[in-house]
Amino acid sequence: MEVSSYIKAPPKTIVNCVAYCEGRRKAEVELSQVHEILQEFNQFVWIGLHEPSEEVLEQVQHEFGLHDLAVEDAHKAHQRPKVEMYGDSVFVVLRTARISKDHRIEFGETHFFVGTNYIVTIRHGSSISYADVRSRCESSPQMLNKGPGFALYAVMDFIVDQYFPVVNEMEIELESIEDKVFKEKPSRKTTEQIYQLKRELLEVKRAVFPLVDICNRLVRFDIKCISEETRPYFRDIYDHVIRINEMVENTRELLNTALEANFSLISISQNDVSKKFAGWAAIIAIPTLLTGFYGMNFKFIPEIEWPYGFHAVLLLAIGLCLLLYYLFKRSGWL
Amino acid sequence: MEVSSYIKAPPKTIVNCVAYCEGRRKAEVELSQVHEILQEFNQFVWIGLHEPSEEVLEQVQHEFGLHDLAVEDAHKAHQRPKVEMYGDSVFVVLRTARISKDHRIEFGETHFFVGTNYIVTIRHGSSISYADVRSRCESSPQMLNKGPGFALYAVMDFIVDQYFPVVNEMEIELESIEDKVFKEKPSRKTTEQIYQLKRELLEVKRAVFPLVDICNRLVRFDIKCISEETRPYFRDIYDHVIRINEMVENTRELLNTALEANFSLISISQNDVSKKFAGWAAIIAIPTLLTGFYGMNFKFIPEIEWPYGFHAVLLLAIGLCLLLYYLFKRSGWL
Amino acid sequence: MEVSSYIKAPPKTIVNCVAYCEGRRKAEVELSQVHEILQEFNQFVWIGLHEPSEEVLEQVQHEFGLHDLAVEDAHKAHQRPKVEMYGDSVFVVLRTARISKDHRIEFGETHFFVGTNYIVTIRHGSSISYADVRSRCESSPQMLNKGPGFALYAVMDFIVDQYFPVVNEMEIELESIEDKVFKEKPSRKTTEQIYQLKRELLEVKRAVFPLVDICNRLVRFDIKCISEETRPYFRDIYDHVIRINEMVENTRELLNTALEANFSLISISQNDVSKKFAGWAAIIAIPTLLTGFYGMNFKFIPEIEWPYGFHAVLLLAIGLCLLLYYLFKRSGWL
Amino acid sequence: MEVSSYIKAPPKTIVNCVAYCEGRRKAEVELSQVHEILQEFNQFVWIGLHEPSEEVLEQVQHEFGLHDLAVEDAHKAHQRPKVEMYGDSVFVVLRTARISKDHRIEFGETHFFVGTNYIVTIRHGSSISYADVRSRCESSPQMLNKGPGFALYAVMDFIVDQYFPVVNEMEIELESIEDKVFKEKPSRKTTEQIYQLKRELLEVKRAVFPLVDICNRLVRFDIKCISEETRPYFRDIYDHVIRINEMVENTRELLNTALEANFSLISISQNDVSKKFAGWAAIIAIPTLLTGFYGMNFKFIPEIEWPYGFHAVLLLAIGLCLLLYYLFKRSGWL
Amino acid sequence: MEVSSYIKAPPKTIVNCVAYCEGRRKAEVELSQVHEILQEFNQFVWIGLHEPSEEVLEQVQHEFGLHDLAVEDAHKAHQRPKVEMYGDSVFVVLRTARISKDHRIEFGETHFFVGTNYIVTIRHGSSISYADVRSRCESSPQMLNKGPGFALYAVMDFIVDQYFPVVNEMEIELESIEDKVFKEKPSRKTTEQIYQLKRELLEVKRAVFPLVDICNRLVRFDIKCISEETRPYFRDIYDHVIRINEMVENTRELLNTALEANFSLISISQNDVSKKFAGWAAIIAIPTLLTGFYGMNFKFIPEIEWPYGFHAVLLLAIGLCLLLYYLFKRSGWL
């Protein structure tokens, strides 16, 4: 088999196309040669595509006899995470997520076609290559020998694990919001930050929540391409998904409470402003009132001719102000 | 067959009445001739009605032996989306939606009677003609050969796909609301806009949510008029419906949060007004107090006879105002 | 049969007691003669009671062999809508509703005992007589021939349809509230109106919600007194009930949003008051400050002896006020 | 049988210990003689305990062969309402409630051990004696002849019926809160009252909600000690429990709305205060401004020497105040 | 058997490793000798580990033939509470909680591997030693004779019971919050305290809620290592877990209401501040206005030359102030 010659001019969208025999990497193959491999016993093909053109997809469909609807879905992207069974083969759609360099969450999509002797992974949008997963699998052939179902597990596990840093990032964001809410002055920015985090949480939830059902079905249903001994591994992914969901739910509930707490604190803050204002208004009003009396034009005003009248009133005013200041301070109005 | 003669004077409400043989358009037929076609093997009739009169409906009922209750429903419109099985035939009610030219959502209703060899679609209210769907179906006879069940799928798929632009419109509306909430001053209009969007969301949800159950039943139940190989197609609609529902739910949750955020921001805004007011009040109160002192009628007031007293007080007042202004500015009260 | 003689002195609470044969009204009968009719084939008795005395109920119980618990319930009224099966007979409790003349919702209760050859309806509280339903049924004997199950359907359908105007009334009330919230000034009355509508909604929901389960059980369970062909009719009621429930839920969710929107608008209104107040306070404070300066008793005040000084200050004050007014108006504070 | 001699010295915690034969009271018995009765056909023992000591419980356990865990539970009290089946016997825990003299809700607990020929009721905490229930049962032996299951029903029915006055009391409390919210000024007390009612509602709900499941299981499961004909009676309790739950839920939802409405009204009230204050401030500011002008020390002030100048200004001030008062009154600011 | 020699140098992480025969403690054993014991009839081994090293875990895995995934989980900690069945053996993960000395909640984790003749408990993080549970078990050999399933119950029961003081602590915290909300002035600290308690509640809920499902599965599923007679004991734990969950839910709902009530009270407080401020402003404004009039420079001012004019105005001012004070006090503004 002149396998090496196959590699000459692979279309760019085909990242990898390798045949495995008894769990061991056998050779890279051309897409058009795949059907030959499929006929041999105990072999399977693992093809990795990245945003494939319609022609490549058609070729893949032709090689493995995939259902029209699934291939249409695989081409369009922007699907909801789901698992569909078409006879002996399984079509899985997952959403991938990762933190970009500017701390935003970037979503991608990966589709899987899995049969008894093949697995095709198709990446769309922002996502990390699965080359590492593949080489890790290749390093333990006894596992990979469990068939394409194990390869499916390996990539799914990798995708799900990518959500942990994403959720952690959001938990850190929540903590930063908490700090702002409870330690800083109420600001428009904090409210907007809460809203944005909520938005991200909803998006992550939409990506992760359907995985509960997907894993459940992969574990429970009798699917030919997933061997009996591979199923506990999907239960493991199920556990991770449940945990991610819980973390998201938790963060969301805390965020809602933070929004309400924020609101309470704004009101308390408003209260403080009012009190402060009222206090200072009173302090200023008293001497104003006092000077009003001595500004009246009556002929006879007590002490009006006393040389120290002005100073007395001034001192009285200052004294009253200090007294009020002390009283307000004590009662918490200032 | 003098089919062409049939077309002479069709009642206006009958948009189309065509017989198909092995998936290929055979001929337009009169409603009254339909029973003849029904007796031939491998043929089916696809009738399109638009707000039919009671007489036409009765004729249809008579031709296909439909159940009283279903026909009554079909006449009344204003039904809830649902699927009803009467023996071998299926009665489906869907709500249609589209964006009108003035950016409002217009709802319509479409009813389907589907049997093993016939499908009747009845449009009510604002809705797009299904002529395009029909001609697209006719262009792939191998699909249409799957029977009336496929025609049902084609129209349902078309109706469901019409919801995507509607939901997108609402997502855009949400973004416009977000902009107003976070970037503009709080206004009565934004609040009303939030309320109106919520209203629309609820209406769309009422139209779309029952579809989850409808698709589920069409996929799962053993319905004679929907062939085994047509079912995955309804699963595809199911996926779309779930996605629309998720988008609606998402928008709704974000809208609720926006309403609360809006509220927080109104309070912060109120806070700012109070602070600003308090700050300026203080700035003005200080010189007022000062002039009060020199307005007192004491005989002996210090500097009262000093030629620059007035100017000194004026400068002092201005100086105090500037100082206060600076202090308030620094502490964020102005 | 001297049926007419039976009518002589019927107790007031027995509104109607008629025997039907093959769906056709045969004769009015005395309660005590009912058992004779029950023995004849293809006949059934339809008895209509209105707030019956304990004696009448005992007589009914005796004639049809009803269960103690059901009869006790029927006497007490204030039951929850429910369906109970006792052997071959069914006991149904429904709540009825109607709009009174002063636009309030009045609730009543109707109980049904249905067996294979009898139906007893017992009305409590505010409710419309079922005489019309009965005569409508009598006008289509082929339907009534389906047995007492059809009579049950006819009355239930009538009762459920009575809820539509009630719910419509509430939707109109909601619209009036919307108008008040978004177009009028915030008032205590609007808030109270929202609360009262919520109260009514909850009460209607309590009356309607259990009907979903009741209809479900009447459709699904194999109940002897409801013939196979009568069941789709209950499915029709089920649809109506679901729709009423949705309308109630919808109104409730909108009402909640209206309450929150109302709250936002109160706050915006508060904001406006504060701004307006602050603006006017500033406008008045400026001339006050100005006059303060010229009210000081310094010997040397510039322009103090200028004949037009007063007028100049007056004009300056007016000018400043106008300027401030213009500035505040432009920035939206007034 | 010298039954009377048994009564000599019963331990205080044993309220009652009676043997029934064919539903009729036969004799009071000593706890230690119970096993003799159990061997006779068609007899059963009904024992009523009140906060029994550990010894008495051990004796009971020994007589009837009860499970360790159940007896441990029965001794500890503070259980959650539940039903447990141990072979042929049933262990039921219910919470009892009643309104104390000072209008508080007092909770108690009652445990039941029911076998085919015995029933033991154990009361803990505040609760009414079941002597009345017992004598009412004894007055209809044909019912009591249905076995210990009927005695269980009778006491459970009694306990559940005790919740109606409790829930009514809470509904009355809600009405009093409504009155305070909508008719009186916002006060701290109303808010606290709302909170306390919510607390009580939650506690009642915790006591009542598990009963739905308990009744369900007693009706559905095939329990030997509850005869077929006794089951409808538990369905009756089930109905009551559902109704109590609904009332609690209803009150709770209204209470939440009242809390929100209360909040809206506080804000409106705040609005009113602000408006009133602003209005009066304006009314007072105008004459103050006016007097400021005539307080300036210009040499030439118009009308300054006019004998009626002061009166004119005074009248003008009063006139302006009245005008403003009228304007504010009309626009709703005062 | 030279059991004693086994104890010589046990690795630190192995807290305990004891063989039991017919429920009685037989001997401490070395990990490497365990397989010998496993071959003997009616014996089982109970091993207690504390944060074991990877080597010890591998040894354990080797001795009992545990599944890779479970062992990996056991090593990593930070799992969600769960139960996994691998053939005849069960893997259980629980979270433990306790109140630290500074009144914080400390969480730990305990993992169990249970087979028909062995149980391994692995403690991680803050947790109390299970030595007491073990010795309590050893003191009732007839119970321990039920097998490792009973040991599992004993430790699980102990862990679950540890949650009661934790939940009680949180209920006490809620009461302290209630006191602060209803009896003290609104403060930022109370709001933060509410938020922190909510956070803790969510964390406890996450630890406890999965236990409902775990207990359910241990009771219902037919697991070989849990004998039929041990199952009611897990039902008992189930009851406790349900109660803890209810307490947490209750506290959470009350906390939410407290947050809202807090908010209402802040607003009422704000209202009081506004009223007080307005009242005092009016009281001060009146004499200011009065003195303004007599400060005007008209030639002819009534009573201006009256010797007691000043005093009269002063008295009038004081009188008006007192009058206003009385009026405001009466109407609740001060």
> Which pLDDT value is given to residue A10?
43
Q: What is the pLDDT of residues C7-51, one digit of tens each?
A: 444 445 788 899 998 889 988 888 888 888 888 888 899 999 998
Residue A63 clears pLDDT 90, i.e. is over it? no
Per-residue pLDDT at C155? 95
Q: Which residues contact E77 (CB under 8 A, 6 or more apart)?
A: E109, E124, E125
Instruction: Summarize the confidence of residues A3-22 as an average pLDDT.
Output: 64
- Longest distance between any two alpha carbons in chain E, whole Å: 126
- How confident is residue A12, by pLDDT bands cut at 50, 70 and 90? low
Mean pLDDT (whole number) for B202-223: 91
Is B261 in the A-facing interface, judged by CB distances under 8 Å?
Answer: yes
Q: Which residues of A touch B216 (CB under 8 A)?
A: none
**pLDDT score of E10 more than 70:** no
Residue C16 contacts residue C134 (beta carbons within 8 Å): yes
Residues in chain A: 334
pLDDT digits (tens, 9 = 90+) for A252-293: 999 999 999 999 999 898 888 888 888 888 888 888 888 888
Burial of E100 (0-12, 13-18, 19+ CB in 10 A): exposed
Give pLDDT tens digits along chain C (334 positions).
Answer: 333 333 444 445 788 899 998 889 988 888 888 888 888 888 899 999 998 888 888 889 988 888 888 888 888 777 889 998 888 889 999 999 999 888 889 999 999 999 988 999 999 987 788 988 999 999 989 889 988 999 999 999 999 999 999 999 999 999 999 999 999 888 889 999 999 999 999 999 999 999 999 999 998 888 888 888 888 899 889 999 999 999 999 999 999 999 999 989 998 888 888 888 888 888 888 888 888 888 888 888 888 888 888 888 889 999 999 999 999 999 888 7
Q: Are D78 and E240 in contact (CB under 8 A)?
A: no
Q: Are strands C82-86 and C89-99 parallel, antiparallel or unpaired?
A: antiparallel
Q: What is the layout of strands, in order, in the sheet containing E82-86?
A: E24-28, E14-21, E43-50, E118-125, E105-115, E89-99, E82-86
A306 pLDDT exceeds 90? no
- Write the Ramachandran bin of E51: left for phi over 0, alpha for psi from -120 to 50, otherwise beta: left
The residues near E161 (Cβ < 8 Å, ≥ 6 apart) are E240
Q: How many CA atoms lie within 13 A of C206 on its CB side?
A: 23
Binary contact (A271, E276; C-beta < 8 A): no
Can you give the pLDDT at residue C12? 57
Distance CA C282, CA C331 (A): 14
Contact A333, A275 (CB under 8 A): yes
Q: For residue A188, which residues of chain B lie inside 8 Å, CB to CB?
A: 182, 265, 268
What is d(CA D92, CA D225) in angstroms, rounded to the nearest whole number? Answer: 13
**Residues near B155 by beta carbon (within 8 Å), at least 6 away in sequence:** B110, B112, B121, B130, B133
Which chain A residues are within 8 Å of B239, Cβ to Cβ? Answer: 79-80, 82
Contact assessment for residue D151 and residue D231, using Cβ atoms and an 8 Å cutoff: no
Q: Distance (Å, rounded) from C-alpha A141 to C-alpha B158?
A: 48
Mean pLDDT by 10 residues, chain D (334 residues): 39 79 88 83 89 89 88 82 88 92 90 93 86 91 90 94 94 95 90 94 93 91 84 90 94 93 90 88 88 87 85 91 92 82
Looking at residue D8, its pLDDT comes to: 40
Encode burial over B163-197: b for 16+ CB neighbours within 10 A, e otherwise. beebbebbeebbeebbebbbeeebbbebbbbbbeb
Contact C298 B276 (CB under 8 A): no
Q: In this complex, is the C-beta atom of D272 within 8 Å of any C-beta atom belonging to chain C?
A: no
CB nearest to D305's CB, from E263, E295, E299: E299
User: Quick one: DSSP state of residue A305?
Assistant: T
Query: Cβ distance B265 to A190 under 8 Å?
Result: no
Q: Residue C167 and residue C204: Cα distance in Å, rounded?
A: 8
Q: Quick check: A274 and B275 in contact, CB under 8 A?
A: no
CA distance A312 to A290: 11
* Most distant pair of Cα atoms in chain C: their distance: 125
User: Percentage of chain C surpassing pLDDT 70?
Assistant: 96
Do the chains contact at A178 and E195, CB–CB below 8 Å? Answer: yes
For residue E286, name the pLDDT band (cuts at 50, 70, 90). confident
Q: Looking at chain B, which residue has its C-alpha nearest residue C174?
A: B199
Q: In which element (H, E) is residue C64 found?
A: helix C54-64
Residue B11: CA count within 13 A, CB half-sphere: 18
Q: Residue D12 has what pLDDT? A: 58
Q: Decide if D299 touches E, using CB distance below 8 A.
A: no
Q: What is the pLDDT of residue A7?
A: 40
C281 closest CA partner among E99, B276, A159: B276
What is the Cα E217 distance to its own chain's centre?
24
pLDDT at A126 over 80: no
E252 within 8 A of D251, measured Cβ to Cβ: no
Could you tell me if E263 lies within 8 Å of chain D, comparing CB atoms? Answer: yes
Q: Nearest to residue E76, comparing CAs of A90, A57, A236?
A: A236
Those chains having 3 or more beta-carbon pairs within 8 angstroms of chain B are A, C
Complex confidence, ipTM: 0.84
Annotate E192-202 with b (16+ C-beta within 10 A) or e (fewer): bbbbebbbbbb
Angle between helices B231-294 and B148-161 (to 10 degrees): 10
Contact E263 D259 (CB under 8 A): no
Query: Cβ distance D294 to C317 under 8 Å?
Result: no
C270/D270 touch (CB, cutoff 8 Å), yes or no: yes
**Arithmetic mean of pLDDT over chain E:** 88
Phi first, then psi: what are they for A70, rounded to 5°?
Answer: -65, -45
The strand ranges marked E within chain A are: 14-21, 24-28, 43-50, 82-86, 89-99, 105-114, 118-125
Q: Return all residues near C124 (Cβ < 8 A) that are at least 6 apart.
A: C51, C77, C108, C109, C110, C111
Helix axes of C231-294 and B231-294: crossing angle, nearest 10 degrees? 20
Report the C-alpha gap between A246 and C314 in whole angstroms.
Answer: 71
- With contact defined as beta carbons under 8 Å apart, do C121 and C111 qualify? yes
Nearest to D310 among E260, E274, E296 (CB): E296
**Chain D residue numbers touching C262 (CB-CB < 8 A):** 264
